[in-house]
Amino acid sequence: MKKTNLIQIVSVIFFGLSIYAASAQQTILSSRLPVQGRAFSSAPRFHRVDTTKYRNLPPAVKKLYTHSAGLFTSFKSNTTKLSIAWETVDAELGNNATPIMSRGFDVYVKESDGWHFAGVARPDLDSAISTSTMVEHMENTEKEFLLYFPLYKELVDFKLLIDEGASFEPITQSFDKKVVVYGSSIVHGASASRPGLAYPAKLSRKLNANVVNLGVSGSARMEPAVADMLNDIDAPDLIVMDCVPNSSPQQVADRTFAFVQRLRQAHPNVPILLIESITRQVGNYNMQRKQRLADQNANFRKEYERLLAAGYKNLHYIATDHLIGDDTEGTVDGTHPTDVGFERMVDIIQPKMESILKTGKAEL
């Protein structure tokens, strides 16, 4: 018998035994819980986009939109222990990502001053099937939980395990605004340490906005089919384009104007915020990478100014300056932000978003 098959069999047995061992607990099937954070309610349950509907999306983009990045669920319970059993399509891990971010969950509890981190689900490193206790020994008072799904995997299914006899109430979060963020791996969540620390998730909690994560790692290149898909999103209050990192300088020059022009066909008055690529620290000493970044951002700025000159309104812009700090220690690999890098991004992006969402126009 092949080693991989043996591992799968052992994992299935372990998964079953884990559920059996938790027989003193209630099992809450995922079907009882609402899934939020999706652009379209018609998408498959744990997918961000129904890729069978958008046939013209590039193949890589289609696959990435099966990842559950940015999706979450909420519920109330007085359980003292919260565990989870789940399955992803495979157990592969990236070389610049934590297993918890890629294939795990994290959970928050709502307090009077906002959401507080409560625990994580650590995935099995060898099997696509995992079980994990996220938090235990809690007080048996009713709490409101916010559970973020894995960022970099297609989620097959999950079950919650709570105390026998504990209360349980699925809830749907109410938001003041809807923000759609299209972008690269940085939007997708690389390299946050856990799902709730990706910058769209952080902004959602801080702004009480439904921030829809449409990041596609390595594949945000402003194709017309992507603009058409974004045009089908109902009633966004703000569209964010953080897609410069994946586009070559020439693609930025060739596609930015047309992409915004296409978005305006369906969203003529929705504010659009264009964000330059973060200063990739891999270019600190690699002069070729440094020049590429400079050309990408310079071309993005030129296209933004060309759009303004052409009469397009309600366009807003954030330059790369200070986005991940100035100490060269804001990334995990010279390209993708750490949690510190993401926090620095939020410190700059949040006030701009707040201003736009409040008035429809950013303060100068």
Supply the pLDDT for residue 9.
46
Task: With H, G, I as helix, E, B as strand and everything else as coil, classify residue 161.
Answer: strand
CATH 2.60.120.260 positions along the chain are 19-36+71-171
Contact 69, 188 (CB under 8 A): yes
Contacts of 223 (CB under 8 A, 6+ apart): 57, 58, 61, 255
For the chain, the maximum distance between any two Cα atoms, rounded to a whole number of angstroms, is: 67
What tens-digit pLDDT sequence spans the chain (364 residues)?
Answer: 444 454 444 444 445 544 444 458 999 999 999 999 999 999 999 999 999 999 999 999 999 999 999 999 999 999 999 999 999 999 999 999 999 999 999 999 999 999 999 999 999 999 999 999 999 999 999 999 999 999 999 999 999 999 999 999 999 999 999 999 999 999 999 999 999 999 999 999 999 999 999 999 999 999 999 999 999 999 999 999 999 999 999 999 999 999 999 999 999 999 999 999 999 999 999 999 999 999 999 999 999 999 999 999 999 999 999 999 999 999 999 999 999 999 999 999 999 999 999 987 543 3
The 10s digit of each residue's pLDDT in 208-225 is 999 999 999 999 999 999
Distance CA 191, CA 210 (A): 21
Contact 79, 162 (CB under 8 A): yes
Contacts of 163 (CB under 8 A, 6+ apart): 25, 26, 78, 79, 80, 81, 140
CATH 3.40.50.1110 positions along the chain are 177-359
Q: Which CATH architecture has domain 177-359?
A: 3-Layer(aba) Sandwich (3.40)
Of 36, 56, 61, 55, give the one whose Cα is nearest residue 46: 36
Token pair belonging to 25: 């607990």
Supply the pLDDT for residue 360.
73
Distance CA 98, CA 21 (A): 28
Supply the pLDDT for residue 24.
83
The 10s digit of each residue's pLDDT in 235-263 is 999 999 999 999 999 999 999 999 999 99
Task: With H, G, I as helix, E, B as strand and everything else as coil, classify residue 118.
Answer: strand
pTM listed for this prediction: 0.92
Q: Judge: domain 19-36+71-171, CATH 2.40.70.10.
A: no
